[in-house]
Structure 1
Amino acid sequence: MSGKGGRRTPLVADKRYGSAKPKAAPKPKAAASRRTAARRPRRKASWPVRLIAGAAGFLARGIWGIGWRAGFAVVSVLLLATLFFYAQLQPLGAYVDARTKGSVTLLDREGQVFAWRGETFGGQIDAASVSPYLRNAVVATEDKRFYSHFGISPRGIAGAIRINLAEGRGPLEGNGGSTITQQVAKLLCLGVAYDPAVWKTEGDYEDDCRRGGVWRKIKEVPFALALEAKFSKDEILTLYLNRAYLGAGARGFEAAAQRYFGKSANEVGPAEAAMLAGLLKAPTRYAPTANLKRSQDRAAVVLGLMHDQSYLTDAQYQDALANPARLSKAASARAGGYFADWVMESGPAFLTSDTTEDVIIRTTLDQHLQKSAEDALKQIFTTRLKDGSKAQAAIVVMSADGAVRAMVGGRDSQVSGAFNRATQAKRQTGSTFKPFVYAAALDMGWNLNTIVEDAPLTIHVPGSGDWSPKNYDKGYRGPITLTEALTHSVNTATVRVSEAVGRNAVREVANNFGFEADLAEGPALALGVSETTLLEMTGAYAGILNGGTSVRPYGMVELRLQGEDSALAGQEGGMGERVISDEAARELTYMMYQVIENGTGRRARLDGRQAAGKTGTTQAARDAWFIGFTADYVTGVWMGYDDNTPLTGVTGGGLPAEIWHEVMARVEDGVPPTPLPMANPGDYVMQPDYGVYPDTRPLPQPTQPGRQRPSGTEGFLVDLLGAILRGGN
């Protein structure tokens, strides 16, 4: 086939596709929609939106910039502070003993501890070797994550803040969420040493160390981190175990274990460990010596924590709950508080109250006698006094050589630092002074059968006028022996004897027996108007028991530094010079024996045992006394009010004599009876012509020791004459 004009048209293949590109397969609607939207021109946001977005972005970039810079600065400061504290930390041994003063441990006559004074350390213990129960109890109670944290516990701090806010306190008031490491930082006072020039007392220093506040908390953090870097976990725990205060003057767990349980902290069991760990919360409140039940309840909480944290098996937990920790015998008794204070005062201050060393003092105290005295006083006051009575009493028990075996300075016996009525209260002695009047006469040659007049008496006292003593019973017996005069505490007869021998002689005998105070000048001297302490009076009576030799009461036998064998101080006291003859002392003992057997002191009589003593009641019954002795011990009892209020219905022959009886019945229980060293009245002739004041005839000559009573007709006449003079009694 040809085209027009004879030309052939060129052959062209059929086109399968048009000039446009081949159509693609249909796309999903969403994809198509995105393509369509992409082809649409983007609408610009409004200027307010763009402004807010820009500001937010700028703020975010600013906060981030400030934040990372501030964080870097805080970390840098924290690191520098940690390095600063780290460089200041000393070796472990420098921090173990926290005290700036030493302690005093007091031992009884058997060498057993009965009291402590000052803060006791007890010796270093180590966390690795201490009882595992104690180590676990402390960790379970104070910081259960101790072995996993790095010195501070953010979780603990957050929990403490939550608790404080829930209880209405400030975020850092109350619970602090402190780790054991942070508590050690406090115990070390953040590295600040005690300086007497800055703090008046050690207590002020420690109060400052315990002071809270935000700044204090902030400083704790780098110091705790420095501790963690310097010491191992066991070393940090060792510091805690040795420095923590645990009540009753015990610094560290070793001292506390010794004080409360009488054993080392390395030996305590679960119940004891729980009680010790429980003290960390509030040492004074939970101290078992203050309230054992409260301390046991707190220990039960600690046992629960130990059990919950798998430190105790079910069996161990139940056994510890069923058998709570109990105090040792010495800690439970808390005996001899007044005695311990007296011994501390009697020693040199630089080795007692102000000591910087640990001191051991061996004393004369007998804990059995001390407990006997305390129990006797408690029984009489419980059964014989009205409820609410504020009457007080004091007791001293000593040996004939002046060694004090027991001392009670008031009704509350479990004390420390309290007013001691046995050593500090000076009171009028009343008729307990009379034996020294008769001691002067006997030493001059009078004897126990010498006759003296009991009749009205008036003495003119220059500057005061006439003075007429009266007898307690308002009556008069006529001529009586010295023995009868003392037995019935006859005032007029005693004054006559005093005036006959001379007041100066009476004062000299009394002073030589141990009265340190100035004695009265007037004739009332004989009736005990002078003042002295119960300790001095009891010591003077000890001189009568030992045969007429003065004694100086003492309690300290030896003082030495802990760990040393040689003593720095020894006994200061004991027997001194002879005051009256042995014969005079034996006669006086017999006369005082009659006081208990037949006179004013009958309530003090002991079954099956000889005893001698004397009652005393001062003017208006402001003071009531009974002082007496067996062959073994001398015991003095005083009773009265601290404000000098007169006693109601109480005389020396009443409650004081009953207290004395109760004390001695306990003291002598199980001790074989020993006769008193006293004279036999039958060996002495009555001398009715002498000793009757104001007769001016010579004083009677001393009877020769060992002279027997006349026999036959002479003896009969002597007895008859004596009966006539005594009125037939």
Structure 2
Amino acid sequence: MPELTNQRRKRNRFSGFLMLFLKASAALCLLAAALGIWFYGAWKLKARALDYRRLKEMESGSLILDRSGEIIGRIFTKNRDEKPLADLSKLLQQAVVSSEDSRFFSHSGVDYYGIARAIFRNSASRLQGRKSREGASTLTQQLARNTFTEDLPSKDRSIRRKVFEMFVAWEVENRLTKIQILELYLNRVFFGSSFYGAEAAAQGYFGKSAKELSPSEAALLAGLLRSPNQLSPWQNRKKCIDARNHVLFRMHELGSLSDAAYQEALAEEPVIKNKKSVLQESYFAAMVSAQMAELVGLENALSGGYRIYTSIDLKLQRTAESALQKQLETLEARPEFKDRQTYAAFDPIYRAWKKRVQAGAEEAPPKPEYLQGAVVVLDNATGAIRALVGGRDVKHSEFNRATQSKKPPGSAFKPIVYAAAFESGLHPWSMVQDSVMDNRKVMIGGTSGILGEWAREEANTPFEGMVTAQNALLKSKNAATVRLGMMIGNDLKTSLDAVSTVAKATGIQSPTRAFPSTFLGSTEMSLMELSLAYSSFSGDGSRPTKPFIIERVEDNAGKPLPKENATRQNALKPATAHQITESLMAALSEGTGARAFSSLGLKRLPLAGKTGTAYDFTDVWFMGYSSALTCGVWSGFDKSRTPIFYGAFGSDIALPVWTEVMNASFENYPPKPFRRPEDLRKCRICASSGYTLLPSCLETAQDGSQVSTAKEVWLSANQIPLPEETCDVHGPKRPKRHSGEDGAQPKVELAVDLSGITAISLKSPTVLGEDPFFSSRSEQSARALKNFRDTGRAAPLDNRLPDAGSPDALQQTDVPKVQAVRPGESSPNQLPQKNQPNLPRLEF
């Protein structure tokens, strides 16, 4: 009995210990389960917190976005050409799945069998002293790692990172189908040599679409994924082919390739195209790329995943591109382009060259020689570039004609000259002589003949005698502009210096030429420079310090990079800017740009603009603005001094493009009325002279009554005529005013006395030297060419010489004497005559 009792006690004690152990184990299991559930929930919540929209953003290359956040490009876009899975070779899909994740379509994001296999093989390798390492990451895990680079850094090989990667992969599988995952993977994965995505890799290595890959080519691309840089066919061809053969073996093993196809692919020698630099897809993308390279470095910009928010307005950009292309294609249909290169003729030449290069040929690209164009749209307040077109096709030529090309703007530069004049004390109602001018004073296109009046944008350009400065600007009169320019300073040098100062103040960095032709826009400058200068006129005389295209940059974690704030600087007096604007509003409504309203459909809003036609019709421009935007358009040839065709005016070629762009801008950038600045004062002047009004400033109307010539105008302090600067049309002759500073006494000099100058009568319109602009047709009564040093006034002349052999030669030559007349008076009907000896031939 005692023994039985002891046995029972031992059994009870054992049972107690067993129950305690079981209870402790159960508690530990429950605790472990609770902890596991807690950790599982924590990891799952962390995985869910990621922004899975980034899967489709392909941010491995930096994204370029417009001002509204829409993706409009990528830096080096040719390195990634996103394609739907249907446009990617089935062979490539099979090759990638066979080599990277053979159970892709059966697992849920994590391949547990693959993990066990990798652990076993890696352990065996360590025991054998080998360093080989086998991975078990699925395509889903690789997609997650390539997308969330900051959360799943590839250099972090800790268990913690690998566990989190599994949770992210499960989350991806829950959100996307297998087809979507495979498509994103093939578009995102890096294939080496700056090629991201299967399409870019196929084009880069083989010069063909990813849809056209052979089994050998598909296997080669799939083999690169193990180590893209070390297996590059350009750097290590043997290792590359070995990797390809391994992929082909896996495809054959899994049944994706037949025996015959497998053997054929193994025997195929891959043809790799020559390594070429990557082109840009647009001019603004190239500009963004260059600035990003300066900001963060080229390699970082290429693969750093930056989000680059630009100032580009996509609607305006597309409108500018299409309007320019449409206009120039229309021009190339003209008879003048019958024997010249056109865009339509060059494009097949370029495509043929591209195919030869892709096939392995090494030859320089053909150079386009067809008619080009450029468009710039600037935000007047900030200098932000809203649209930028640097040419007709960036594939044909990466040369940016909006920023890199410098051409003479012709008459589009005249507002700068008039701004300098108004700054100096002249004003829009100052009178200037519009008459024929000896071309030796300007030397546009030669040193003989008279100055052509091509800039009025019309074939018939009559001279009008004395005109206001505003009228000369809105009708773009050449001779009058040169005379006004010479009135700015005391001599030619000070006048040109004043124009140069204003040009630099408004943003034109190109140095102006020290010749009178500068008054007519002979200085070469970029479209961007002149667009920035015109933005000075739209407001109070200030302008943005510089144009910019990048508004802000964020790194791949969404952290903004430091940026330079937009600033402004003073360029002109507010009064000067407003007076130029009023003149250019008149130029657009009734001057050289009038057809914008009359026939091109420009909306009737507060707008100002100016045409520009360079000498010999080599370059045509239109520059214009609203209160919100400035838009500049240029067209011409890359080769300097190549005429577009004779009679090609800015109003016919550039103005239609400008009109279409501006009409497209009004919805988002509504123009406001131009506000008169406070530094303008109302005063009364004589409209016939531009000087202080006299009681005698009267003219006879058609009904015989006397009408005052008084005119109310708005002038700045240094423009208001002094009391002694009275009208010299209806009053006594007085010293003429050249210039003066605010609050300072203006400088004066005596007017030229013409009484001693001999004049020669003119029997018919006469032009000496070449006259490519047919000025004689518009000048029915040519004026004197004898003395233009100050006023350019002279009596009519006749330069026909009598026949020296004629006995009546001397009697046939009547030379009138000049009589002094005041401005506005007509010449006397009868002039005293006297006989002169035989005259020598005149040379000009």
Q: Contact 2:320–2:375 (CA<8 Å) still a contact in 1?
A: yes
Counterparts of 1:201-220 in structure 2, within 5 Å, are none
The yes-or-no answer on 1:345 pairing with 2:290 is yes
SS of equivalent residue, structure 2 residue 487:
helix
AA at the equivalent of 2:549: G
Q: Contact 1:393–1:639 (CA<8 Å) still a contact in 2?
A: yes
667-676 or 638-647, which deviates more:
667-676
The yes-or-no answer on 1:234 pairing with 2:132 is no
Aligned to 2:95: 142
The yes-or-no answer on 1:616 pairing with 2:612 is yes
Aligned to 2:639: 643
How far residue 507 of structure 1 moved from its aligned partner, in angstroms, is 0.9
Alignment deviations for residues 109-160 of structure 1 (CA, whole Å, 9 cap, x no partner): 22333222158999xxxxxxxx99999978843256448989xxxxxxxxxx
Pair 1:145–1:586, CA change in 2 (3 A)? closer
Distance in 1 of aligned mates of 2:666 and 2:684: 32
Aligned to 1:584: 576
How far residue 668 of structure 1 moved from its aligned partner, in angstroms, is 1.9
Pair 1:651–1:682, CA change in 2 (3 A)? farther
How far residue 296 of structure 1 moved from its aligned partner, in angstroms, is 8.2
The yes-or-no answer on 1:107 pairing with 2:24 is no
SS of equivalent residue, structure 1 residue 427:
coil
Counterparts of 1:340-489 in structure 2, within 5 Å, are 340-346=285-291, 349=294, 351-355=296-300, 357-386=304-333, 388-389=342-343, 390-401=370-381, 402-412=383-393, 418-458=398-438, 469-472=451-454, 473=460, 475-489=462-476
Distance in 2 of aligned mates of 1:469 and 1:665: 36
CA RMSD of aligned residues (A): 5.1
Aligned to 1:493: 480
Alignment deviations for residues 363-408 of structure 1 (CA, whole Å, 9 cap, x no partner): 2111122122122223323444328352111000111132111101
The yes-or-no answer on 1:569 pairing with 2:563 is yes
Distance in 2 of aligned mates of 1:439 and 1:276: 60
SS of equivalent residue, structure 2 residue 309:
strand
Distance in 2 of aligned mates of 1:608 and 1:508: 34
How far residue 478 of structure 1 moved from its aligned partner, in angstroms, is 0.6
TM-score (norm 2): 0.48
Distance in 2 of aligned mates of 1:227 and 1:239: 26
Q: Contact 2:67–2:311 (CA<8 Å) still a contact in 1?
A: yes
Q: Contact 1:480–1:725 (CA<8 Å) still a contact in 2?
A: no
Distance in 1 of aligned mates of 2:85 and 2:634: 51
Pair 1:121–1:385, CA change in 2 (3 A)? closer
Percent identity between matched residues is 23
Structure 2 gaps of 5+ residues are 1-58, 104-113, 115-124, 148-171, 188-195, 219-253, 257-278, 344-369, 455-459, 489-494, 692-712, 721-725, 731-822, 827-844
Pair 1:589–1:268, CA change in 2 (3 A)? farther
Q: Contact 2:78–2:280 (CA<8 Å) still a contact in 1?
A: no
Distance in 2 of aligned mates of 1:686 and 1:617: 33
**Which of 625, 628, 635 is residue 621 of structure 2 equivalent to?**
625
Q: Contact 1:487–1:599 (CA<8 Å) still a contact in 2?
A: yes
Distance in 1 of aligned mates of 2:497 and 2:404: 27
SS of equivalent residue, structure 2 residue 75:
strand
Distance in 1 of aligned mates of 2:282 and 2:825: 49
Q: Rg larger in 1 or in 2? A: 1
Larger relative helix fraction? 1
How far residue 462 of structure 1 moved from its aligned partner, in angstroms, is 11
Distance in 2 of aligned mates of 1:515 and 1:270: 56
Counterparts of 1:58-207 in structure 2, within 5 Å, are 103-118=61-76, 140-142=93-95, 145-146=98-99
Distance in 2 of aligned mates of 1:107 and 1:558: 10
Pair 1:376–1:121, CA change in 2 (3 A)? closer
Aligned to 1:556: 550
AA at the equivalent of 1:558: R
Distance in 2 of aligned mates of 1:377 and 1:268: 44
AA at the equivalent of 1:703: L
Distance in 1 of aligned mates of 2:95 and 2:85: 15
Alignment deviations for residues 458-507 of structure 1 (CA, whole Å, 9 cap, x no partner): 48669997895332245311111112101111001111111110111111
Distance in 1 of aligned mates of 2:413 and 2:377: 18
Distance in 1 of aligned mates of 2:143 and 2:556: 23
How far residue 604 of structure 1 moved from its aligned partner, in angstroms, is 2.8
Distance in 2 of aligned mates of 1:271 and 1:236: 12
Alignment deviations for residues 248-296 of structure 1 (CA, whole Å, 9 cap, x no partner): xxxxxxxxxxxxxxxx997578489559749976536679xx99xx778
Alignment deviations for residues 557-592 of structure 1 (CA, whole Å, 9 cap, x no partner): 234533253423324x5422x222111111110100
Aligned to 1:663: 661
Distance in 2 of aligned mates of 1:646 and 1:623: 7
How far residue 416 of structure 1 moved from its aligned partner, in angstroms, is 10
The yes-or-no answer on 1:675 pairing with 2:668 is no
Pair 1:137–1:540, CA change in 2 (3 A)? same
Aligned to 1:596: 588
230-239 or 368-377, which deviates more:
230-239
Pair 1:459–1:650, CA change in 2 (3 A)? closer
How far residue 435 of structure 1 moved from its aligned partner, in angstroms, is 0.1
Q: Contact 2:320–2:661 (CA<8 Å) still a contact in 1?
A: yes
Aligned to 1:507: 500
SS of equivalent residue, structure 1 residue 532:
coil
Q: Contact 1:422–1:535 (CA<8 Å) still a contact in 2?
A: yes
Q: Contact 2:198–2:210 (CA<8 Å) still a contact in 1?
A: no
AA at the equivalent of 1:141: Q
Counterparts of 1:22-41 in structure 2, within 5 Å, are none
Pair 1:550–1:139, CA change in 2 (3 A)? closer
Pair 1:272–1:650, CA change in 2 (3 A)? farther
Pair 1:115–1:227, CA change in 2 (3 A)? farther
**Which of 508, 516, 520 is residue 527 of structure 1 equivalent to?**
520
Q: Contact 2:409–2:521 (CA<8 Å) still a contact in 1?
A: yes
AA at the equivalent of 1:622: T
SS of equivalent residue, structure 1 residue 111:
coil
490-499 or 598-607, which deviates more:
598-607
Q: Contact 2:89–2:211 (CA<8 Å) still a contact in 1?
A: no
AA at the equivalent of 1:626: F
**Which of 274, 283, 287 is residue 200 of structure 2 equivalent to?**
283
> For this pair of structures, how many residues does the alignment match?
471
How far residue 520 of structure 1 moved from its aligned partner, in angstroms, is 0.6
How far residue 440 of structure 1 moved from its aligned partner, in angstroms, is 1.1
Q: Contact 2:628–2:669 (CA<8 Å) still a contact in 1?
A: no
